[in-house]
Each structure stands twice: as structure tokens, then as C-alpha cells.
Amino acid sequence: MNIAVPTREQREAKLEGMGCKRKRVEDIRFTQGKGNYVDDVKLPGMLFGDFVRSQYAHARVKKIDDSKALKVPGVLAVITAETLKTVNLAWMPTLAGDVQMVLADGKVLFQNQEIAFVVAVDRYAAADGVEAVEVEYEDLPVLVDAFKALAPDAPLLREDIKDKMTGAHGPRRHHNHIFEWSMGDKDLTDAAFAKAEVTTKDVISYHRTHPSPLETCQCVASFDKIKGELTVWGTFQAPHVIRTVASLLSKIPEHKIHVIAPDIGGGFGNKVGAYPGYICAIVASIVTGKPVKWVEDRIENLTATSFARDYHMTTEIAATKDGKVTALRVHVLADHGAFDACADPSKWPAGFFNICTGSYDFPVAHLVVDGIYTNKAPGGVAYRCSFRVTEAAYCIERAMDIMAQKLGMDAAEFRLKNFVRREQFPYHSALGWEYDSGDYHTAMNKAMEAVGYKQLRAEQAEKRAAFKRGETREIMGIGISFFTEIVGAGPSRNCDILGVAMFDSCEIRVHPTGAAIARMGTKSQGQGHETTYAQIIATEIGIPADDIMVEEGNTDTAPYGLGTYGSRSTPVAGAAIAMAARKIKAKAQMIAAYMLEVHEADLEWDIDGFRVKGLPEKSKTMKELAWAAYNSPPPGLEPGLEAVSYYDPPNMTYPFGAYFCVMDIDVDTGVYKIRRFYALDDCGTRINPMIIEGQVHGGLTEAFAIAMGQEIRYDEIGNVVNGSFMDFFIPTAVETPKWETDYTVTPSPHHPIGAKGVGESPNVGGVPCFSNAVNDAFAFLGTRHIQMPHDYWRIWEVAKGLGLHG
Amino acid sequence: MSVIPAPFSYHRPKSIAEATALLAEHNDEARILAGGQSLIPMMKFRLAAPEHLVDVGAIAELKGIQRVGDALVIGAMTTQHELQLSKTATDAAPILKEASLLIADPQVRYMGTLGGNVANGDPGNDMPAVMMCLDAAYRIMGAAGPRTVKARDFYEGTYATALATGEILTAIEIPVPPAGHGYAYEKLKRKIGDYATAAAGVVLTTRGGRIATCAIALSNLADKAVLATDAAATLIGTALEKPALDKAIAAARAIMSPAADTRGTTEYRTAVGGVMVERALRRALARAKG
């Protein structure tokens, strides 16, 4: 009998390693409704907690009367700030160095702020209990408008720190001021503006919105009084950080806290922070001795847990008459709501906003960010973007279009003229970053060719002429964005969260039969880690991806990591995987050398094992080596085949992309149609092209939503006017445009496999692209900057302002 | 907070008589549950907290679509989905299907009923305006016996209708419009699942290419569905030429008073309300034969 020897291609294909469009293994359970989410956790005797929330955006809480609530059948307890004070938990630290009320302590600072936590035998009783709690308020003047926050007579919001004029990030100059953060060289920038030939200055606002994952924030806390152990199941993007924070706050030793993040139904930054619900569920479990579940409803999620954006960016560009940028100056008014609960690395109060020089070679730049308090929900988180990178990309990409318009230059040509050139990498930006790699001109030219840019402009010119002749009521916009992201936080020299350095980790155990398990410090919320991580290992050590299980989310078994957000999983944990795999490979090489009786240096790696150089028939597969590692290791070598790696990245990674949008707008209704959207992404080495495509589709859909109408909007007395999915724009398949995706590959030079991360690029690059399309459509009629979001009625208002309705 | 309704008792009568008896017994404390696509969300938000819920879903008499002479009779518990599938209904009055397909999303249309849509009195519902265009009548049953109210007389304000406490809307009776009539329902909405930012329905007939009869009705542009009678009257004898068309649109806008909401300002919704009227008229005229 002849046994067919598999070809190299067959061996390679069997691995389903990097570059393979491997189907997502997690979808087998997700598509059958067999995922295991927090709300699926059901424990004997489990109680339910529900919040009484503030009806006012700013008020003194005069009295909380729980007597009627406690009479509701099934209600066991009503926890208030007074209860929490007995365990010193009425306030909690935020990730941004501020403090935040867990439950209203004397006053409320935003609508739907948590006032009391009703604990009952089931959700129904808890809801009835919530309704029966009577709260007496005395309303206070409300501050909603960020531009009025620093007025001398602005209402005092944070009485707790009114005399504390130094915050976590330096001096505060007003009772509603949180911090001032600056980067770059002011004097050089001012000098460049003083002698500039052409300048622009525009207030470019990025409205408040919300990550709105379909699964809301939730947890189950179970305190075992006998063992003194606390177990918390929760929707945590960073379970280890939650464990550390829980230990610091509760004084329960960290080894007695078990944090488990089961399957998560989307996070997008919303599930990074710590919320009052977690604290209250834990306290309620300690008080009652029973497990307590807390599940946020949709309105609570949209109005109380972390929002995103709310940046007002005064952006100035200086340029020469022939279109060379000479300086950038940005001032940001950053609205954090009632508490600075921004989920940024500790030293970065405005995240990595200083990536705002974008893809362009600005010789000098200066940035100042002022953080302020208002009567809105606290935050804000990075909604599918690295910390404040979406805001930065929006501000520079809008401002570049505005400058191109002022110069009378084509927006694409203006960008090409100012890109950082390939030979300038690693590139040191004027605001302090070292861009690892890029080839912007190649990407831009490829994109322009793919969309037929010249023809589009010609068509647009014809349509504009027809519009002016009154032959059509439709105008055409071409949106361009060329973004540079900064992801993979991050190097311990500049990134930590509450003092914990932002490394990440991987532990790989290869079993005797050659199958393996990898445990990670990150936590997928839908990104497909179980699929892609296995592919990295498959390529690195020659074990088929199908034989590798990836496990995340259990802090007892997973190595310590900082979690998943800011597109950091591939740049940081992906590197840890490769490094751990290489340790295994090194040991396997020693074993192979012993078995094949050659020197290690005489071996070479060949897809799924080692072979002797020049004697390819003398080889050992990884499967054989795994068995030997346990059962017949070389003398002096300890048995087993496993490795752990903690990876502290030397630098961030800098994915980039070129996006184009073609949009037609009906000026009579403000209704737009996205005729075409093309996205070219360069995320370095591509691990799973299918997952990348899916990530790009998802991110673009969110970007589309944000640019075209998704906002958290407050009325003048601080009520959220669109706190449900009836009004908060989540596009369905019907509204979502068709996406065309494309790519170039510029590997990261410092990452072990050259990968850069992609999950957030489409949100970062997509928003300015849509907004630029709207702006471009109207530009020929004399507009300069149209604020987002661009929902139908606001687009119509622009047309009306231009006198287009007769 | 919660999305959990207050406690209530649930009833599922098998006949109209049993239902009206339950309603008479519990009076103001009872609400009729049809498809539940409006009432249940309101109960979850505790904006509605009926002590008794009378589910009329098991009453066979409330189902079915029939052509009876010159009338189309549609049982109140007919779902939007069933309506869309009914050749009888679509042959008689194709505007029903056109408008129905613009309601919410397929999931809602599997559950949501025609009776619920017209009886709830929500100005955002689409079918009241369609029924006004078609000059439909609602068959109502109460403890005092049956009666009929014209759709054009039924709506009094937001959630306020001619339906008295204890009464059930049992069927909708639509005079079948003449063959060759023109019709259109134009709805501007932000996304699938949303109520109209502005919507307009038109049913018209023509003679020699000119409008002979015309009914225009508006959805979500006032505190109730409204019939734009002046606008329609302006257009008789025209083929939508200006200035008659402009006068009609101005007359339609004159009766619009949409609230400013997240869909837009009053001014915007009124402006696009006019655009919807114009587009519905143009499409209806293009479809008309005669």
C-alpha cells in the first residue's frame, strides 16, 4: 500500500496558519445560540439588583425614602450612599485619576445617575422596588454647553473638589476645569503661524456618541463568606484590571478574587471601565451572602455607562501658497461629563490625541487640551478606536480638506503633497510619536486608481453645473480620508493603567499528542481571537490551528494581561503569542537535535517540524517532538513543552489607510445615498484576511452611523433626548452601504510578526470620510465646515441656509 | 430602572362577546392586546400599566380578509404580514401593501396587526392615513352593540380616538376604489423600524389624464392622522401643473403641525411633509389610468 506523502502545500494548508481565511471557530456556538454570556449565569439563590436613577441632571438629593420599596414583596434591601459609606465605597476612583460617586452622595450630577440599588429575589420585584423608592430633589442650575463650563459664573458641579485646585494631571484653573494638557512646541508653532502665507482656523466638533454594544454592561457577584472569596462574572474587556481594582477597593486579597469574563456581546470600549453596578452587586452580595446579578437595560447603557467623543477641536493649519503645510495648532475642549471617567492610560488625559498631525509632515505643531465637567454622563471611552485617535483623525482630515479648499487645490493632491514620505520612517512627529512604518503614497495612489478619482471629479463637475442650471436637485460629494492610527498600547515607559504597565501575555501548553492550549491576557468581545490567535501559533510552531484551543477571560487560569481595547490585542498579545511560541520552538529544536543526533544549528524549520539541513528526509514533526518532550526528553532537559511570554512592546504600531466615499444628496429632503465606499487598509502582516474584512465592515458601519446621525443629545436641562434604539442610530443592513475593501501590506518593523492591528481603523478613518463627503458636496455652494452628525434634517438645514429651497 | 412592566392580569378570550364582557368588567383598568408592538414597549417603560390585559389574539372572528361586493373587509387581528400576502387585498387596494411594507421591520409586521395600527391612535402609525385616503370605516363592538365609524371621523388626537372604553375594533371595511385609480404612499424615515419623519398617502382617479377625485392624508405630521381636503380640492381638474400643485402643497403644509423631535425641527418635518405630498401625488398620477 502506498501512503501518499503530503506535499509542502498540503502541509502548509493543513495548518490554517497566518494568511489563511480560516472560518471563525467561535461562530459555531454563536450562530446556534450556544454562547455563554453573563446573563446566562444562573446560580442557586441568586438575587437581582436594579437602580433608582436620577430624574434630574443636577440636583441636591434631599431625601431617599425606601420604606415603601422595602414593603414590596421580594425586595430585600435598598442600598444607598449611606450604606456604602460604612464600607468606604460611596465613591470610587476612575481610570483617569478622578473620583466618581458610586451612588448619589448628597447630589446628582447627570440624568440617570445611580441613586439607590434595590436588591430583590427577581428582576420583577427589583423593578417594582425601584418604582417605590421616593427621592426628594432640589434642582440646581444645569450645565450642558461645554463652551459655558469655564465661565466665571458657571454652576459649580463638583463640590467635592471645589477647593482642590490640583488634579491628577496638574493645576485646575476653574471649578469645572479638570486638566490642561499640552504637547509640542508653542513658540516654534506660533512663529510658523506668524509668517504663514495661508492659514485656516475652524472649530471642528466631534459630537458625543456611545459605543452601544448589543449586550449591555452586566455582572454577577458571588461572595463566599466561609472562604472569604469573591467571584465576579462580568462583561469585562479587561478582567485582570477589574480584579486588581476590586482588590484595591474591597481589600479582599487579589488571590481570593476570581474574575470571569464569559462570552461578550460587543464592547467597543464601553466595557473597559468600572461602573457603579459592579460595586453595588459586589457589596450586595457581601451584605446578603447570596449571588447578586445586575443587568443594565438599553436606556441605562446609553445614558449612564460610558459615552465616547464630545471633543470640540479648534484646529488651525498654516501652509504655503503652493500647498505645503508648515504648522498645526489645535486646542481641544474635552467634555468629560460629571466625572472624568476617561479610559485612557494614566499619563494620557487626552489619550493619544497628539497623533493629530495625522499622515502629514508638519514641521511644528502645538496642542492644548482642556478637560471640563458638565452635567452629562461621565466618560469618555475610546469607542472602537485607540484612545482619542478617532477625534484626532477627524480633526486633521476635516482641516486638511478645509485648507485644500482655501488653497483651491484638489484635496487628494494636497494630501499627496504633504504625506510623510516612505524614506522618512521611522518618522518622528512634531507631537512626539515615532511612526514605525508606512508607505502613504503607494496606498493613496492605489486607492485613487481603484475608485477612478479623476473620473469622479469630472462627473462631479458636470453634476454641479447641472445643479446650477436647475436640472437636478441632487448634489454629489466625494469624501477622502487618509488616516494614521496609533494602536497597541503600550510600551511600559509611557503606558500604564492605575500603575499597571500595559504589557500583555500568552501561555502556551503543547500537550503530549501535539494539540495545544493557549491562554491569554486579552478578552475577545467578538473579534475572533480564538480563531486568529491559533493561526499565529500554527504558523510559528507547526501545529494545525484546529488542534489549538484559545482560552481567555478567567483570571485564575489566564496570565495577567491588560485586556482588549484600542486595537491592542494583535500588536501586544499577538506579539506575546509569537514570543511564547518561539520559546516552545527553541525547546523543540533542542529535542529534535537530540533525536536526530545533529547539532541544533544543523536543523532548519520546515512548516511543521525540523529537518536536517541538506537531508530533508531526516526530520521530526512538532507532533513527534511534543510526545518526546514529555516522554523522552534529552538528558538534563526537564520534561514538558510549554511557555509563557509577557510582552512589553518597544513601540506602538501605526496602521493607516485610504478611504473614499461617493455620496449623492437630495437637497429638498436632506436624504443622502452612499453610492460607493472604498476602504484600503494597511495593517501590516495580515493574519486572517476574512476576519480583517469583517472587522473593516463592522468598523465602517459604526463610522457611517456616527457620522450620519448617531449621537447622545441633551436638551438644555440635561435630559438625554435619544436614549433608546428608536432614536439612537444603529443602522440595519438596509441603511448600511456596500463596502469595498482593499489593502497594502507594510509590516511593522518592531513587531515579531509585523502585524499592526485593524479592528478600529475603519471607525477612525471612516468618520472623516463620510463627513468630508457631505462637506465636499456642499463646498461648491460656499460652505466651509459643516458639523456632524449629518442626519437628514441637519443636511436639509445646510441646504436651507444656502437658500436652496427657493 | 427597568424595562419590566408593572404587574397585570392576563386574559385570552375566545370570542368577541367574551372580550367585551371582560372589558366591561374591568373598564378603565383593562387594555386590549392586539399584536403588542406598541402596547408592550409602553408597558415595559411603564408608560402604560393596565391591570388587565385582554389578548384578542385567539378570537377567530377577528381574522380574515374578504371581498364583499364593492367592499374589502379586513379582520382587525390580520397581521401586516398577512395583509401583504393577501391577493384579495392587494388587487382591491394596492396602497395597502405599499404602505404596509413601509411599517417598522419584518419582525414587527409578523406580529403587528392592522386593527392595532389603526385603533391605537398613534399619529406615527401609517395605516390611519391610508384608511382616510380610502375612506374606510371601522366596525366597532361594545357592550351596547355594534356601530361603525368612518376613519375620517375616528381620530381625535394623540392616543385619543372615537373608540370608547369597553369597545373593540373588529374589522375594517374599505370601499374598493375604482379600477385604474392612482395611489401612492410616500414615507420618509430615518431607518428601517422608525416611524415616519413625514409621510403622505394619495388615492386619486383621473378622467382624460386629469384628476377627477383625490384624497390626500398625512402621517405623523400632526397630533393625529389628517386628511388634506383643501389640498386635494385644489387639484381637481388638473394634471398637477403649477401653480395648482404649489397651492396644494401649501394647503397641505398649512395643516401640518409636527412636533420637533429627534427626526427634525417642526420646520423641517413640515417642509419634507410637503415633499412627500408632491412625490405621492406624482406617483399616484403616473399610475392612474383614465
pLDDT in tens, A6-49: 999 999 999 999 999 999 999 999 999 999 999 999 999 999 99
Rounded to the nearest integer, the mean pLDDT of chain A is: 97
Best probe of the B interface among A113, A305, A714, A792, by most B CBs < 10 A, is A792
**What's the confidence (pLDDT) of residue A566?**
86
Which residue in chain B has the smallest CA separation from A116? B1
Smallest Cβ distance to A669: which of B194, B265, B272? B272
Q: Is B79 on the interface with A (CB under 8 A)?
A: no
Which residue in chain B has the smallest CA separation from A115? B1
Name the residue among B64, B197, B217 with its Cα closest to residue B155: B217
Which residue in chain B has the smallest CA separation from A672? B190
Best probe of the B interface among A53, A296, A791, A793, by most B CBs < 10 A, is A793
Which of the four pLDDT bands, split at 50, 70 and 90, describes residue A349? very high
Residues in chain A within 8 Å Cβ distance of B7: 124, 128
Best probe of the B interface among A669, A715, A722, A805, by most B CBs < 10 A, is A669
Rg (CA), chain B: 19
Percent of chain A at pLDDT > 70 equals 100
For A630-764, strand residue ranges (E) read 642-647, 656-666, 672-682, 740-743
Contact A791 B190 (CB under 8 A): yes
- A73 to chain B, minimum CA–CA distance in Å? 12
The CA distance from A56 to A132, in Å, is 18
- A747 to chain B, minimum CA–CA distance in Å? 40
Smallest Cβ distance to B192: which of A297, A734, A793? A734
Smallest Cβ distance to A123: which of B4, B262, B268? B4
Residues in chain A within 8 Å Cβ distance of B189: none
Pairing of strands A516-520, A548-551: parallel
Q: Is B4 on the interface with A (CB under 8 A)?
A: yes
Phi/psi-derived region of residue A36, left when phi > 0, alpha when psi is between -120 and 50, beta in every other case: beta
Smallest Cβ distance to A53: which of B1, B191, B261? B1
Task: State the catalytic residues of A.
Answer: 237, 384-385, 760
Q: What is the mean pLDDT of residues A532-556?
A: 98
**What's the confidence (pLDDT) of residue A1?**
54
Could you tell me if A424 and A438 are in contact, meaning their C-beta atoms sit under 8 angstroms apart? no
Contact B3 A299 (CB under 8 A): yes
The SS3 of residue A423 is helix
The SS3 of residue A414 is helix
Furthest C-alpha separation in chain A: 92
**Size of the A and B interface in Cβ pairs below 8 Å:** 75
Contact B2 A792 (CB under 8 A): no
Q: Is B254 on the interface with A (CB under 8 A)?
A: no
Top-tier CATH class for A38-140+216-264+271-296: alpha beta
Domains A8-35+504-647 and A307-489+652-801 share a fold: yes
Contact A112 B272 (CB under 8 A): no
The residue ranges of chain B whose pLDDT is under 70 are none
Smallest Cβ distance to B271: which of A130, A709, A805? A805
Name the residue among A681, A657, A654, A656 with its Cα closest to residue A748: A654
- B151 to chain A, minimum CA–CA distance in Å? 28
Contact A670 B46 (CB under 8 A): no
Contact A297 B1 (CB under 8 A): yes
What ipTM describes this predicted complex?
0.96
Which residue in chain A has the smallest CA separation from B193? A726
**What's the confidence (pLDDT) of residue B97?**
98
Q: Is the pLDDT of residue A532 over 80?
A: yes
Contact B3 A298 (CB under 8 A): yes
Neighbours of A724 (CB within 10 A): 16
Best probe of the A interface among B37, B190, B270, by most A CBs < 10 A, is B190
Residues in chain B within 8 Å Cβ distance of A299: 1, 3
Q: Is B107 on the interface with A (CB under 8 A)?
A: no
- Give domain limits for chain A: 8-35+504-647, 38-140+216-264+271-296, 307-489+652-801
Contact B264 A793 (CB under 8 A): yes
* Burial (CB count <10 Å: 0-12, 13-18, 19+), residue A256: middle
**What's the confidence (pLDDT) of residue B3?**
86
Q: What is the mean pLDDT of residues A796-804?
A: 98
Could you tell me if A717 and A487 are in contact, meaning their C-beta atoms sit under 8 angstroms apart? no
Smallest Cβ distance to B188: which of A669, A735, A797? A669
Residues in chain A within 8 Å Cβ distance of B1: 50-51, 53, 112, 130, 297, 299-300
- B279 to chain A, minimum CA–CA distance in Å? 12
**What's the confidence (pLDDT) of residue A2?**
63
Which of the four pLDDT bands, split at 50, 70 and 90, describes residue A494? confident
- A679 to chain B, minimum CA–CA distance in Å? 24
Contacts of B21-30 with CB under 8 Å at 24 or more apart are: B21/B143, B22/B52, B22/B54, B23/B54, B23/B142, B23/B143, B23/B165, B23/B166, B23/B167, B23/B168, B24/B143, B24/B166, B26/B51, B26/B52, B26/B54, B27/B165, B27/B166, B28/B165, B30/B54
- B192 to chain A, minimum CA–CA distance in Å? 7
Q: pLDDT tens digits for A416-443?
A: 999 999 999 999 999 999 999 999 999 9
Instruction: Go through the domains of chain B in sequence order and give each one's CATH number.
Output: 9-54 (3.30.43.10), 63-175 (3.30.465.10), 182-287 (3.30.390.50)
Rounded to the nearest integer, the mean pLDDT of chain B is: 97
Q: Is B87 on the interface with A (CB under 8 A)?
A: no
Which residue in chain B has the smallest CA separation from A124? B4
Contact B272 A126 (CB under 8 A): no
Could you tell me if A30 and A91 are in contact, meaning their C-beta atoms sit under 8 angstroms apart? no
3-state secondary structure B48-117: CCCCEEEECCCCHHHCCEEEECCEEEEECCCEHHHHHHCHHHHHHCCHHHHHHCCCCCHHHHHHCEHHHH
Q: Is the pLDDT of residue A518 over 90?
A: yes
- B75 to chain A, minimum CA–CA distance in Å? 29
Q: What is the mean pLDDT of residues A530-534?
A: 97
Residues in chain A within 8 Å Cβ distance of B265: 793, 797
**What's the confidence (pLDDT) of residue A5?**
87
Top-tier CATH class for A307-489+652-801: alpha beta
Q: What is the mean pLDDT of residues A285-303?
A: 96
**What's the confidence (pLDDT) of residue A806?**
78
Q: pLDDT tens digits for A245-263?
A: 899 988 999 999 999 999 9
Q: Is B145 on the interface with A (CB under 8 A)?
A: no
Which residue in chain A has the smallest CA separation from B104? A726
**What's the confidence (pLDDT) of residue A583?**
98
Q: pLDDT tens digits for A701-741?
A: 999 999 999 999 999 999 999 999 999 999 999 999 999 99
Residues in chain B within 8 Å Cβ distance of A297: 1-3
Q: What is the mean pLDDT of residues A297-325?
A: 97
What is the CATH topology of the domain spanning A8-35+504-647?
Aldehyde Oxidoreductase; domain 4 (3.30.365)
Smallest Cβ distance to B190: which of A53, A713, A729? A729
Which residue in chain B has the smallest CA separation from A130? B1
Q: pLDDT tens digits for B219-244?
A: 999 999 999 999 999 999 999 999 99
Q: What is the mean pLDDT of residues A139-161?
A: 98
B227: Cα separation from own chain's centroid: 12
The helix or strand, by DSSP H or E, that contains position A364, with its residue range, turns out to be strand A364-372
Residues in chain A within 8 Å Cβ distance of B190: 709, 729, 791-792
Percent of chain A at pLDDT > 90 equals 96
